[in-house]
Chains A and B, each alone.
Chain A
Amino acid sequence: ETGVTQTPRHLVMGMTNKKSLKCEQHLGHNAMYWYKQSAKKPLELMFVYNFKEQTENNSVPSRFSPECPNSSHLFLHLHTLQPEDSALYLCASSQERRGANVLTFGAGSRLTVL
């Protein structure tokens, strides 16, 4: 596979469930990102990992828990979510270049919280 792959593509969960989103990049990049895309709102940066170290947590509620075991994989663990967390969650990766980074995005995981 090439590019950035996200699984599952669609997820429906109840407010008491625990689930995880997975992201894998095959580009040799060293930075990975989680973005949230809600209807009628700009993309919101949630987390940034650079060389497996978290370099940004953009005031994300603790019910979202990221994990980056290596530079190719990124997870977003979900628990006790709220209906307003329903959104498209996009993963991206990049090779660091002082802010000039071109992010390569996955197709997203569409999450619905009932």
Chain B
Amino acid sequence: AQKVTQAQTEISVVEKEDVTLDCVYETRDTTYYLFWYKQPPSGELVFLIRRNSFDEQNEISGRYSWNFQKSTSSFNFTITASQVVDSAVYFCALSEARGETSGSRLTFGEGTQLTVNP
């Protein structure tokens, strides 16, 4: 069975601090996909990044960066120079590779509430 663990329930930082959100996953599949989503107070989950299990290159997008380490089954997310607008709940998710007509089965972690204070 798949499982995603986000051990940090809540994190509070002051603006301009760097913050890392941890994500650890479990799967028996050799091919799988990892995602991060952001849920602002408005409610909708916003897609941030997708990674496949064969691509361990770290990625940077502006102030966001992701560190994928298969050896430790982790896919951590770092926000550099955090801003108040980064305050949201962040979800890590895992999806196995499936047939094209099956639909996705995303397994989500419990989320990390990030609060960035001015």
- A and B bind: yes
With contacts A99-B32, A104-B47, A107-B42 known, is A42 near B103, CB below 8 A?
no
In the complex the two chains form, what is the Cα distance from A41 to B111 in whole Å? 9
Please tell me if B66 contacts chain A, counting CB pairs below 8 Å: no
Could you tell me how many residues of chain B have their Cβ less than 8 Å away from some Cβ of chain A?
32
Does the CB pair B108–A108 fall under 8 Å?
Answer: no
B101 CB → nearest A CB, Å: 6
On whether the beta carbons of B102 and A50 are closer than 8 Å, the reply is yes
Given A88-B43, A105-B44 in contact, is the A42-B104 Cβ separation under 8 Å? no
Indicate whether A55 reaches chain B with its CB closer than 8 angstroms.
Answer: yes
Other-chain contact of A33, B47, B101, B103, B108 (Cβ < 8 Å): B103
B52 at the interface (CB under 8 A from A): yes
Inter-chain contact A55/B103, CB cutoff 8 Å: yes
A 93-108 to B, binary, CB cutoff 8 A, 1 in contact else 0: 0101111111111111
Closest to A50 in B: B103
Chain B residues proximal to chain A, CB less than 8 Å: 4, 31-33, 35, 37, 42-47, 50, 52, 91, 95-111
